[in-house]
Amino acid sequence: MDLELIQSLVKQNQSKIVFLIMDGIGGLPRDEDGKTELEAAFTPHLDELAKDSVCGLQTPVSTAITPGSGPGHLGVFGYNPLKYQVGRGVLAANGIGFDLKEGDVAARGNFCTINNQDQVMDRRAGRISTEKNIDLCNLLNENISIPNVEVFVETVKEHRFLVVFRGENLSGKIKDTDPQEIGKKPLDPIVLDSSAEYTAGLVSRFISQAHMILKDEHPANMVLLRGFSQKPSWPLMKECFGLKSAAIAAYPMYRGVAKLIGMDVLETGQSIDEEFDTLEQHWDEYDYFYLHIKKTDSYGEDGDFEKKKAVIEEVDRQIPRLRALHPDVIVVTGDHSTPSKLKMHSWHPVPVLLWSKDCRKDSVDQFGERACILGGLGTRLPADDLIALALANANRLEKFGA
Amino acid sequence: MDLELIQSLVKQNQSKIVFLIMDGIGGLPRDEDGKTELEAAFTPHLDELAKDSVCGLQTPVSTAITPGSGPGHLGVFGYNPLKYQVGRGVLAANGIGFDLKEGDVAARGNFCTINNQDQVMDRRAGRISTEKNIDLCNLLNENISIPNVEVFVETVKEHRFLVVFRGENLSGKIKDTDPQEIGKKPLDPIVLDSSAEYTAGLVSRFISQAHMILKDEHPANMVLLRGFSQKPSWPLMKECFGLKSAAIAAYPMYRGVAKLIGMDVLETGQSIDEEFDTLEQHWDEYDYFYLHIKKTDSYGEDGDFEKKKAVIEEVDRQIPRLRALHPDVIVVTGDHSTPSKLKMHSWHPVPVLLWSKDCRKDSVDQFGERACILGGLGTRLPADDLIALALANANRLEKFGA
C-alpha cells in the first residue's frame, strides 16, 4: 500500500474504526479433530460477525516470512514492515516500556563473561538471574559518568539489558560490539557514518567504565552492545490516514510500537475485560482504536492449545460489547500466526475479517483459517492494505482521478 | 503489469479480442434478497459464458481505491493508472469530446463572480445556466485575441467551461489561478517550470481580456482556470500490444480516453443495440474492440437498482450477437463498481470473466460478485493484467526465455 497515495485521498468524517488484534491468532490443526485453535474455539459472536463481513487471509510482512512482533504490528497498522524497520535498541526500549525521547540512542546489551585476556568466554554470562541483572544495572547506573550525556541502564531479563544515551548530537550509526563468537575480544564501537564519531566516543567510554565497574563480578564481568538505534521519525497515523488514534494494549512492547506511529496510549488493565472497559470509556475521543490481545500469542508460544482456544473464547464473549458501541468498521485479525503446535511465531497467513455496512460480504460464515480461504479478501492480502480498506469502508477516502 | 515485458513478447496473428466494459458494473447486495444488481439480473447468456470462462475479481487502481472513470478505464486497457495520470484539463476536453492536438494546452475554467476590488465572491457565479454559459463562451471566442495562438473556449455545463490554447512551444506546467477561497483575488498563472513562461504570458493575456470582456456581465464577470495540461504522449495500444484497436462508446469521455492510447473511435449510436451494430459492421477491420456500456454506471449513480439491473439484462441479450462473431477472446468486466446502494463509484473489486477456448475454465457458473470470488483469476487481479491475459489467450505472446 502506497502511504502517499492514501494520504492524498484522505478526508474527514465522524466514523469510527476498531482494529481488534489477537496476537498470534493463526494456528495449525491439532491431531484429534484436525481443527486449529480458532476453529476449535466456540465463537458464536465472531462467526456471526464473519457472516456479515468480507473475510480472507492476510500476510503481515511477505509470503513465507515469520514476523516479529514489531513488523507484524506495523504491517497491520499500514506501514510496510520491509520499509519501516525499527532498530533493535529501539525495540528493546519499547519492549520494557522505556520512554525514548527524540535523539536518544538505544542499544541492547548482554552481560557476558570475559577471561583475563579480555576474550569472551560466554556471551550470556551463564544466563544470570534477572535479580542479579537488576543489581548489576544499579551498579552501572550509580557509577557510570560521562560528561554531557545521561546514561540509563535498564534490566530486560536474565543477561539482557537496555542502555540509552541521552544528549545533544547523538547518532545510532554504530556497529555492534558483540563479536558473536567465543574466544574473541569485544569489538570497538565502529561508526557506520562519520556523523557518529562523537557518539562512538561516548560508547567507548561507557564500555571502558563498565569493564572497570564489573571486573570483580563473576560471571557477568563485561558488556556487549548491539542494535544501536534512534527512534525513527515516521509519518504518523494522523498525517497518513487522518485518524486520531488510540492504543489499548496491556503489554509495553505493543504500547511502544503504537507510540512510534503517533497513537495515544491509553491506560488500561491487564485483563481482556478491562481492555474493553477502556475502549468504552474513551469511545468518544478517537477515530481509530487498536485493541491488543496478548495471551493468544503467549499460550501459542507455550504450546498450550487449550488455553489459546480459551483466550479466543474470552475475546468472543466481548464482541457484543464492541458491537454495542456501533463502530463503522471492525477489523479482527492478528499480527502473525503462533500455532501452539510449533510453540513459536510462524509464516502462515493470518485470518482476517472486515465488517462494515458496505463491505460486500462474502459467503464465509465462520471465523477460521480454512473458512477464510473462500473470503472476498483472498488468501494473500498484504496486511498493510487493511487500513486503506478500513478507510474506504468508513467513507474516508476521496475518489482517485476524475 | 510490465508494459515493456509484454511489448517485448508480442507477436501477430489473426485473432480478435473483445473487451465488453459495463461501466460501474460491481454492486452491493440489496436488503430484500441479499443480491447485487448483477446477481439479481436475469443473465442466462453471461452465466453460460462464465461457465466456460475463467472468472475472478479485479482491482482497477489499487486495493481500497475508488477509481474515477479515466483511471478505471486506463487500468482495464493495461495502463497502470497510478503511472499513467491525465491532467484535469485534458480530462475536461475528453469529457466534451474536444479533439485535442499534440501540443495544445487545456484547462478547466469556472465562470465566477468578483467584486469591484477584484475579490472572488462566488467561485461558481451562482451556478449560471448552461445556456448562459454558451452565450459567454461565444462572447469570449469572438473577442479574445492573442497573437500566434488560437484559443478555444467551450461550454461544459453550468459555470464550467474548457479553454484550449493551440500554438507553438506551449507548456502545461502552470499553477491554477483559482484561489479556492472566497474574498481572495484570482491568482496569477505561476509557472511550475521555466519552460512555461511563454505560455503563462498567454494565459495572463487571456485572463486580462476575459476580465474586460465580462466586466458588465453579472454574476459571471470573471474566469478561474485550473488543471493546465497537455495530451500525454503515452505508448499506444499498437506499440505496446500489437493491437489495431477500436473503441465503441457513445459518451465523449470514454471516446477521449480511448484516443489517448491510440484507439480508433468508431461512430456509433446512443443505444446498446446500436453499439453492437457498430461492432458487427467493423468486425473485419480490427484486432481489438473496446465496447463501452454507460448506463450501468448512470443508474448506479442514480441509486436505481432496478434500472441498473435492466441495463445488465439488455447487455445480456446482446451476448449471442457477440458470440456469433466468433471472437477468440472475450473479457467482460467494468472500470469500477457503482453500487446503487451508494449512488457513487466505490472501492469494491469488479467481477471479471475471460473467455477463450483455452482459458482453463474454473467452476464458476454465474457472473456475479460472490460467484467470482471462487474463480481462477482470484479476488485481487490487477486490472492492468487483463490485457496481457487476453493476449496470452489469443496466442499473441511469445514464450519468455528459452
Query: For residue A283, what is the domain's CATH number?
Result: 3.40.720.10
d(CA A66, CA A338): 10
Answer yes or no: do A74 and A127 share one domain.
Answer: no
Inside any domain, residue B354: yes
Determine the average pLDDT of the residues in A166-170: 97
Beta bridge partners, A397, equal: A10
pLDDT score of B121 = 96
The answer to whether residue B375 neighbours chain A at the CB level (below 8 Å) is no
Answer yes or no: do B241 and B365 share one domain.
Answer: yes
B233 pLDDT band, cuts 50/70/90, is confident
Inside any domain, residue B73: yes
- Identify the burial level of B285 via C-beta atoms within 10 angstroms of its C-beta, where 0-12 means exposed, 13-18 middle and 19 or more buried: exposed
d(CA A53, CA A207): 55
Q: How many residues does chain B have?
A: 402
What are the pLDDT digits (tens) for A205-222?
Answer: 999 999 999 999 989 999
**Which residue of chain B is at minimal alpha-carbon distance from A373?**
B374
The answer to whether residue B374 neighbours chain A at the CB level (below 8 Å) is yes
pLDDT score of B72 = 96
Answer yes or no: do A212 and A77 share one domain.
Answer: no
**Whether the Cβ atoms of residue B53 and residue A387 lie closer than 8 Å to each other:** no
Determine the average pLDDT of the residues in A46-65: 98
A401 pLDDT band, cuts 50/70/90, is confident
Determine the average pLDDT of the residues in B170-193: 94
**Whether the Cβ atoms of residue A60 and residue A383 lie closer than 8 Å to each other:** yes
pLDDT at A53 over 80: yes
pLDDT at A165 over 90: yes
Answer yes or no: do A130 and A260 share one domain.
Answer: no
pLDDT score of A6 = 96
What are the pLDDT digits (tens) for B201-210?
Answer: 999 999 999 9
- Consecutive H or E run containing B248: strand B245-248
The answer to whether residue B82 neighbours chain A at the CB level (below 8 Å) is yes
Angstroms from A389 CA to nearest CA on chain B: 5
Contact A400 B68 (CB under 8 A): yes
Answer yes or no: do B381 and B240 share one domain.
Answer: yes
pLDDT at A348 over 80: yes
Residues 6+ apart with CB under 8 A from B270: B250
Answer yes or no: do A245 and A383 share one domain.
Answer: yes
Answer yes or no: do B223 and B312 share one domain.
Answer: no
Answer yes or no: do A108 and A66 share one domain.
Answer: no
d(CA B114, CA B186): 9
Answer yes or no: do B124 and B146 share one domain.
Answer: yes
Contact B67 A398 (CB under 8 A): no
What are the pLDDT digits (tens) for A356-379?
Answer: 999 999 999 999 999 999 999 999
**Which domain covers residue B193, as residue numbers?**
90-229
Residues 6+ apart with CB under 8 A from A50: A353, A364, A365, A366, A367, A371
Inside any domain, residue A400: no
Closest to A346 (Cα-Cα) out of A92, A67, A137, A43:
A67
Answer yes or no: do B23 and B101 share one domain.
Answer: no
Residue at which a domain ends, from B198, B229, B260:
B229
Answer yes or no: do A38 and A100 share one domain.
Answer: no
Inside any domain, residue A223: yes
pLDDT score of B33 = 96
d(CA B188, CA B202): 12
Beta bridge partners, A355, equal: A330
Residue at which a domain ends, from B190, B211, B229:
B229
- The C-alpha cell at A360 is 460486500
The answer to whether residue B382 neighbours chain A at the CB level (below 8 Å) is no
pLDDT score of B87 = 86
Inside any domain, residue B399: no
Inside any domain, residue A398: no
d(CA B254, CA B266): 12
Closest to B124 (Cα-Cα) out of B135, B108, B101:
B108
pLDDT score of B253 = 86
The answer to whether residue A112 neighbours chain B at the CB level (below 8 Å) is no
Inside any domain, residue B272: yes
Residue at which a domain ends, from A214, A229, A244:
A229
Count up the domains in chain A and report the number: 2
Answer yes or no: do B356 and B262 share one domain.
Answer: yes
